[in-house]
Every structure is written in C-alpha cells, then in structure tokens.
Amino acid sequence: MIFAPERFPLRGGFETHYAEVENMYKQIRGWRHDYRNHIQTLKAYASAGNIDSIKTYLDELDTDLSTVDTVIKTGNAMADAILNSKSSLAKSKNIPVQADAHIPLALTTPDIDLCVILGNLFDNAIEASLKLPEAERMIRVYMDIKNTQLYISFTNLTAGRKQKKAGRIFLSTKGEGHGLGLYRIDTVVDRLGGYISRNSEDRAFTTEILLPQQ
C-alpha cells in the first residue's frame, strides 16, 4: 500500500510527543522541588549518627533519580527532551539505543518541527525493532551540525529483506493509515527547505535528514 498524504493533517499526533516531553519535565521539576526536603532528611539522619538510614535513603534516591536522569545531552533543550523521552520508551521495550548527538543551544529549526521529526523517527524505529528478537534489536541516532545544516541520522535493524520503495516512501503491507509519520516528517522537511533520504539495505533501515540553519 502507498500512503495517501492528503487524508491526514500535519499536526495529528504531535500532542503525543509533546505530552511525553512534558511528562519527563514534570518529573524533573518534581524531583528538584523535593531536593531541599531530601537534604533535610539526610542531615537529620547524620545528626543522629544513623549511617544505615543514610545509605538506605541514598539508594532510594538513586533509584528514583534514574527514572528521570537525562542520559542524552545534545546541547539543545528540545532535542534532549524528545530524545531522552523516546530513548526511555525504547529501553522499556528492551530496545538498546546508541546516541551520538551534538547540537547548538539555538537552532533556526522551530522546536515544534524538531519534535515532529525526532518523535516520528524514533516511533518508526521502535515499531520496526519490536518485530525482532530482543537480542537483535538496536537503534542508532547521530546528530551534528554539518557546515550550516543540522544533520540527523536514524538507523534501526529490520526483519526480512530489503524493502521496496515508491518515490521517497517505502511500500507498506500494514494497512490504511500506515505511513502518517513518514508523511509528517517529509512535510516538515520540505517546508523547511531540507533534504531527506531513506535507504533500506539488508537488515538495516536508515533515514538521513539535512535541515538548513541559516
């Protein structure tokens, strides 16, 4: 089946990506809000000489903080938020994520567009990875500035043979509606005057995007 873009609005689904990012930030803000209380509790244990309680409390804090820790640090707040949110989702599904991303604090690419692109790239990679045995799953993310353009690359392993392509979109057997994420990515990239390339080699699917930053 070839996806028919005119049936779907661009913004559909953006709310999901935004909600994931907002939820992560709420967790971080909540932990920071409680920071003073944690310090006071530890000071009380220290005054009482209760070393065992201090150790136990620190272990609990370490576990709690690990759920909101920012692992991927690109240098850009929006990219950090969406990449960490999606990376956490992937890891919860036993999909390893390897990320190498370096982005300036300020981009000319609007945050909402960056969120749509990265969110959908990650969703597609996660969906494809879930078809594989856990031992074979992998998502690689690379982002950097190339001259005056933001370069984005996503690679994930796939099941089966090389996929067939119709234009920039790969053919799908998943039924009507599949391909919405691909269309949304293409729409944003085209509007921003960027470039997108998709390649399906044996057992690997790679999407590369260039977005002008001038």
Residues 126 and 139: their CA atoms lie apart, in Å, by 8
When pLDDT is cut at 50, 70 and 90, the band that residue 149 belongs to is very high
What digits encode the pLDDT tens for the residues 41-67? 888 888 888 888 888 888 877 766 655
When pLDDT is cut at 50, 70 and 90, the band that residue 112 belongs to is confident
Listed by start position, the domains of the chain span 9-69, 72-212
When pLDDT is cut at 50, 70 and 90, the band that residue 92 belongs to is confident
Residues 128 and 139: their CA atoms lie apart, in Å, by 10
In order, the DSSP letters of 27-71 are HHHHHHHTHHHHHHHHHHHHHTT-HHHHHHHHHHHHHHHHTT---
Tokens of 180: 């919405």
Residues 78 and 24: beta-carbon distance below 8 Å:
no
Tokens of 114: 């960056």
| Highest-pLDDT range among 160-164, 179-183, 204-208 | 204-208
pTM (two decimals)? 0.65
Q: Average model confidence (pLDDT) for the chain?
A: 77
Residue range 72-212, CATH number = 3.30.565.10
Decide if pLDDT at 32 tops 70.
no
Tokens of 160: 């089966």
Residues 107 and 76: beta-carbon distance below 8 Å:
yes
Residues 87 and 197: their CA atoms lie apart, in Å, by 23
